[in-house]
Amino acid sequence: MNGHGGNVATCKAAFPQIYKSASQLKLPAAKNLRLKISSWFMAPEVFNEAKNLYGDLEGQHATPSEIAITLYKEPSLIKKQIPLPKPAPSGPIYDSQDFRKRYPDGRMGSNPYLATPQHGKIFVEKAASALSQELLTFLQTS
């Protein structure tokens, strides 16, 4: 279960090493071991809801959907919600210095001010439902 887009490539890159290690350790389940990464924000129901609520201002980093979940889980943070300047447009990232220069506040095309706790509740419910079903399907077909 993944919560950050920056983790996807690293996790997928680790899968072959895990398979190899399990085999070398002669773990009884090694030959049947299957790994999969699932991201809550990529579940079609969640992704579509974010686009419906925020359009292009969902962005790719520091998104309103992420903030909405935070506000749902910790409503006291709503008082920290402030309007922000227009976000920098999304684009390629070449290294950490480039990211900091182009996105000094961490936002990539996103407007987290649009987030509400009510949206967060919707995202949590849709993600839980979609990912639970995805896990059951994975377990049945692996």
Q: What is the pLDDT of residues 112-142, one digit of tens each?
A: 999 999 999 999 999 999 999 999 999 998 7
Q: Contacts by 82-91 with C-beta closer than 8 Å and gap 24+?
A: 82/113, 83/113, 84/111, 84/112, 84/113, 87/57, 87/59, 87/111, 90/59, 90/60
User: What is the Cα–Cα distance from 134 to 45, expressed in whole angstroms?
Assistant: 12
Whether residue 53 is predicted with pLDDT greater than 90 in this model: the reply is: yes
- pLDDT tens readout for residues 11-41: 999 999 999 999 999 999 999 999 999 999 9
Whole-prediction pTM value?
Answer: 0.87
- CA separation for the pair 42, 36 (Å, rounded): 14
Place of tokens 């910790």: 74
Cα separation, 25 vs 23, whole angstroms: 5
Candidates 3.20.20.410, 2.40.30.60, 3.40.50.10310, 2.60.40.10; correct CATH number of 39-141?
Answer: 3.40.50.10310
For all residues of the chain together, what is the average pLDDT?
94
Assess contact for 120 and 112: CB atoms under 8 A: no
Cβ atoms of residues 60 and 39 within 8 Å: no
Share of the chain above pLDDT 90, in %: 87
- CB within 8 Å of 30: residues ≥ 6 apart: 19, 22, 23
Residues of the chain with CATH 3.40.50.10310: 39-141
